[in-house]
Structure 1
Amino acid sequence: MVKFMRLPNLVKHLIFEEMKLNEILLLSFCSKQVQKSIKQQYRLEPNKGFRITCSNKDHRTYYHFQDGDEKGLELIVDHKENDKELIYWKYVDKFDLLKKYKFLNGVFIKLKSGFIFEKNGLRFECSICFDQKSGIPTLYFEKDMMKKWPMELHKYCVDLFRTTPDLEMIMNLDDSSDLHESQTIKNLYLHDSCESLDPEIADEFFEKANIQNSFSTLSQKLDWTISDDSKLWNIPNLCIYSYDWVFARQLTQFTGKNAYLVVKDHNDIAQSMNEFLKHWLNSDNTKLETMIVVTYCESTEKLFDGIKTSKWDPERRQARYVPNAPFERIFENQNRTSYTFVNTFHSVYDYLDCTNAFDIVRESDGLLASVKVHDGVFFMFVWHTRFS
């Protein structure tokens, strides 16, 4: 190791360029001198964040080669096929750390035990094995590392590779016990699950997870809706495709920018949406941009009861709404064998066309919104810029 540190900077730079990212990460654990050298000679492209991924525990996607307790850290490249897997880990009992072999992917893999390193003042002991095809390492820790390792590893990688601290997570909702009491996450995606959970689990999770940008779930079921005072309502971008999470009457709690929600059936959804529009008209909410709600709302008469509306005037706004940013992606199970990021709203219908929408204007600040209903789906677009 001393000889390595004495190599000329150009040679060391070339060595790092030839190594895989997970190899550089493991090498950095050797000593503080190696860490310093990596920081000086190697840097990731700017704005490349990291993602912590937890394996799906749902029985529909649980195959013999999957480990439901395994978690991993990836480098986000483009949310497609190019994201780079860095390292995986699992928490086991003390006895399992001492085992020399583990049955993995249908074959016995030799574990290297007694691997110890210190990081950020914490001492970690683990066993390690390497995937025979990819070479990606998997670390086996004692369970008391559960709340310490993932976030410490993330902070460590941000510092080591000198990149953005943004963190994404893909997880099962009941994995929230792994988090610290307060954890900042940029984007959170939930795995599909046919298991129905107590909504208190969701409320407790949003109490300690500070989600800065977006939250999405495709089919995580709850026994009942989340509470009116849940911190979920403060997340800037929401995509909840499961109808168990929210009532239409709760939409007035939303303080973010964009929401795409499937609401739980209600006795009079049109009335609830009417109350939502009146709430916006009488509020000082300048954040809201888009609200799309999958409902059974068909009566525009009741929807606009007591609200002054007007038809499209090309002098007041353009015909087609242009969102500031596309709807956030969701993490979708495809054919129960693989996952991919997909666009939130699937429709051949041009839902951004507002030529047939009804316009409403908030008197306090003149902010204009276009509202329409198509096939039972409620659309509301707030025109912060009327002409692009």
Structure 2
Amino acid sequence: MKRLFTTLIALLVALPAWAEIEIKEVTSPGGITAWLVEDHAIPFTALELRFRGGTSLDDPEKRGAVYLMSGLIEEGAGDMDARSYARELEALAASFSYNASDDTVSISARFLTENRDEVTDLLRTTIHEPRFDQDAVERVKAQILSGLKSDANDPNDIAGLSFSAMAYGDHPYGSEGKGTIDSVSALTRDDVVEAYDNVFAKDRLYVGAVGDITAEELGVLLDKLLADLPDSTKPIPGKAEVSIEGGVTVVDFDTPQSVALFAQKGIDRDDPDFFAAYILNHILGGGGFESRLMQEVREKRGLTYGVGTYLVPKDLASVYIGSVSSSNDRIAEAVEVIRSEWARAADEGVTQKELDDAKTYLTGAYPLRFDGNGQIAGIMVGMQMEGLPIDYIATRNDQVNAVTLEDVNRVASELLDPEGLHFTVVGQPVGLDG
């Protein structure tokens, strides 16, 4: 318990000041590349391993296999069953976590310096010798199926699935990465092993490390962990063709409040106008209570508790999405106001004050993201995957501040498409036909 308490303190305290973060690129003797921030103030390290591909690697008839596999990695490895594995991890005062999304499978490790070698041994066994015991497969499948049954009665999940199917069609993005009740029920242990073989390879690996470890020590650790991975495996699917046409889709659902997801085509992260679009989104719908949509839909008309918008640049497609909920008899008005504000921003742009306020917020809030070693390790991996330069953290706010009013208003006129904005509404809305 004392060691676990020490670990928790390290998680909270071991963070370098964001402005002083110095990222080094490390190449292990075996050729594995990682980004490292050394911080020897506390004997604690966070390690982030991320593999590009994610649930998009599923075969259509085996949807949910990668997600199931990611939930089984911690259910025993080597000669340890699930219970023995959990006891070993606790004894080392370390933590491992696993996550699968549309584009990635990630492994996050947190450990004390005094236990680094033992933790590395355990993590290596985890990555290279997962057991996928049949009883664990059935247990985790049951947990996923329970979640899917719950999702089937959640208006937000229903809206998301309906939108994805419309926007992405037969591409993996067009269906639920967790799978369906039918597809998950049919998955076998062999499918899980195949998913494992499809995910873990060096050509899609990205690594970030922060804490009490030197470049030389990290290189040795990485080769011990990862040198034996195959060089490559199953190809990642091609780009999705986004198909969003203006209009309304109504999904009938017995609830007093309708949930609406609205979307149009988005902008890629590597587009030269991304920062202008990012600021525009903050002003239009991403800035909380100060955004135009929150002011018009909630504050002035009381149509909702909340409305927000998000740029979503995935690896294989980019969309611009928002969400709102309102009573069935008022959702039509909320839709009308949102579309009107979309058109106003496209036609008239934003004001200098709105731009200045957005810049002040976005640059001031940026340092708050660096609130722990684990968060910094994750940010560094994300930077690598997005192709950002190693000095991005130091220059990011300068790039935000460099955006001009003319930039934002030009992007508003080019990006925003009020006629192409599609609303997927789940509920029993009055005055909306789809």
Q: Provide the TM-score with structure 2 as the length reference.
A: 0.26
Larger relative strand fraction:
1
Larger relative helix fraction:
2
Q: Which has the higher contact order (CA 8 A, sep 6+)?
A: 2
